[in-house]
Amino acid sequence: MDFIFMLTRGDKTVEDCLDVLEQIGPLGLGHVGFKDVGVDAGTLQTLTDRIRAMGATSYMEVVSETPEACLRSATVARDLGVDRLLGGTDVARINDILAGTHTSYFPFPGFPSGHPTRLGGKPSDVTAHCESFRAAGCAGADLLAFRATEADPLDLVRAARKGIGEGYLIVAGSITSRERIKAVADAGANAFTIGTAVFDGSYNPRKGSLLSQLGDVLADCEAA
């Protein structure tokens, strides 16, 4: 089970993301990501380069609400050279944008909408979408399970695993406890993201530092 630390709070990249990345360097995190909003393009490029330099896999998650904005975000990810692009739903056109690059694509199954994003759709929809992602050559899927409005989150994780087959399944958003990490692992996820719960200290309210919060997440991930 992989832990992807998102340098984000409230679905935006934190303004001091470069300072945070330097602070967490000693932890040796293997997966670090950010959103396509919150800081300028130059900062995103520096951030991507520094994540690569620390030996971690880089992720960018799209939060754009319109199809055109999602395509622009995919172009940004391509130009930044991120390892993995998360989000969006226009699989064919985003695959075209990423063609010939090393950036792999993990679309949103279900029906995401709004900001912060909510996820509509039933398990059958998620399975069908993930099957189509696999057929289109995507590396996996990015599931907003705990932002679901029409289904039990863990039912959606199991549905996504069924549809994506051997693909890499990420559960993004609202992972706030050891119990939830274990639950998504047992349901078939390969990875999960946490951002806000680390920055606001809610993952472990008894501890105050960023490094302490991350240390607990890593320990709980290992136990899952």
Q: Which domains does the chain have, with CATH numbers?
A: 2-223 (3.20.20.70)
State how far the alpha carbon of 184 is from the alpha carbons of 4, 32, 121, 178, 189, in Å.
Answer: 14, 19, 18, 10, 6
Q: Is the pLDDT of residue 10 over 80?
A: yes
pTM of the model: 0.96
User: For 80-97, what is each residue's pLDDT tens digit?
Assistant: 999 999 999 999 999 999
pLDDT, residue 7, reads 98
